[in-house]
Amino acid sequence: MTWSLTLPELDPARCLGSGGCVAVCPTGCLEMAGATVWLPRPADCVGCGACEVVCPAGAIRLPTVTRPAAPAG
């Protein structure tokens, strides 16, 4: 089975620039560019979702990934 990591989707128009997402990121892959968050090192993202949870404006979203069901039998 192949597994692909889902990266956070960032909406700069909704970003309030609080920086909470940058502070909680365990890999440090997020940074602030002025008052907007960005993902300069996507290869470092582990898809944990901590950034999404702390974002007060909903500017960060991790799409839901559904793993295929195991074959019957």
Q: Specify burial of residue 1 (Cβ count, 10 A radius: 0-12, 13-18, 19+).
A: exposed
Q: What are the tens digits of pLDDT across the range 54-63?
A: 999 999 999 8
Strand partners for 19: none
Position 67 scores a pLDDT of 64
pLDDT at 5 over 70: no
Break the chain into its structural domains and give their ranges: 9-61
Q: What are the tens digits of pLDDT across the range 14-73?
A: 999 999 999 999 999 999 999 999 999 999 999 999 999 999 999 999 987 666 667 776
Look up the pTM and report it: 0.80
**CATH: 3.90.1150.10, 3.30.300.30, 3.30.70.20, 3.40.50.1000. Which one for 9-61?**
3.30.70.20
Closest CA to 42 of 2, 10, 65, 20: 10
